Amino acid sequence: MTDTHPTPTPAEQEEIDRANTSGKQPVVFVHGLWLLDSSWDRWAAFFEDAGYVAVTPGWPDDPASVEEAHAHPEVFAGKSVGDVAGYQQMIIERLDRTPAIIGHSFGGVLAQILAGRGLSAATCAIDPAPSRGVLPLPVAALKAASPVLVNPANRHRAVTLTFDQFRYGFANAVGEEEAHELYEQFHVAGSGVPLFQAAFANLNPATEVRAEKTGADRGPMLVVSGELDHQAPHAIAWATYNAQKKNEHFVTEFVEIPGRGHSLTIDSGWQTVAQTCLDFVSRFVK
């Protein structure tokens, strides 16, 4: 079970202290399933070059490196969306300034949850997994999630994707060689809980996969979709946008990145996506 009174890791506390002493606008980057916070390293440098200060928290108990994650995949098991949202909130509440938040995949859902709690000055949800109220379940998304959902026992396990599964869900829009490089460099095991939570979110009124979308403190939001994404296809991103745009207090926008799959934040075209998010964030916070 996740600690009910979590504290930042030493590395996370160092990032918090650095952000608070910098006097700069913080940007918090939230990773999704099957990745670590290091997947944001190039984004963090990119945003810092633009004058922001980056904070890249992990999920509770995340290993410090991909190598450590491969050695101890069991540590990922049992982490729910609520666990991770609470952990991210704890990090954000230690910042002196309300950050912009950028999240990918389940990180895109978490970014929406945190924005709905009034914790974000501007939000980018990239290829977000579905939250409650997002109804489409495309065949491609079901196939991408099937390595976990096919076995109910996986809810309590950490699940590592095979290369072929990663290729379909993440790296379908890049070449074979790059797909292998991404798999070796970035992929780690992931908790089965969030996928089961998302799959049944619209049947469970008490689900943790719920984002307050119409609040007066949500902040501006951009939903980004990769055109060729299998894990979180266009229909899910578009339905997310349509749910979020009901917010009458803040702008909600949608951008589709042509020719890109779910790996769009980590593959060789990452900078195009990062620039799209930077352009949005910089309109609202400096």
Domains annotated for the chain, with CATH where assigned, are 10-282 (3.40.50.1820)
As given in the structure block, the two tokens for residue 119 are 């914790």
Rounded to an integer, what distance in angstroms lies between the CA atom of residue 188 and that of residue 83?
19
- One-letter amino acid for residue 40 of the chain: W
Could you report the per-residue pLDDT of 44-83, keeping only the tens digit for each? 999 999 999 999 999 999 999 999 999 999 999 999 999 9
The reply to whether the predicted model has a pTM over 0.85 is yes
End-to-end CA distance of the chain: 38
- Provide the pLDDT for residue 118: 98
Name the CA dihedral angle for 215, 6, 185, 35, rounded to a multiple of 10 degrees: -30
- Provide the pLDDT for residue 137: 85
- Provide the pLDDT for residue 4: 61
The CA distances from residue 78 to 29, 74, 84, 150, 216, in Å, are 22, 9, 11, 17, 33
Which residues of the chain carry a pLDDT beneath 50?
A: 1-2
As given in the structure block, the two tokens for residue 145 are 């999630």
The CA distances from residue 182 to 174, 178, 242, 265, in Å, are 10, 6, 32, 11
Could you report the per-residue pLDDT of 6-44, keeping only the tens digit for each? 899 999 999 999 999 999 999 999 999 999 999 999 999
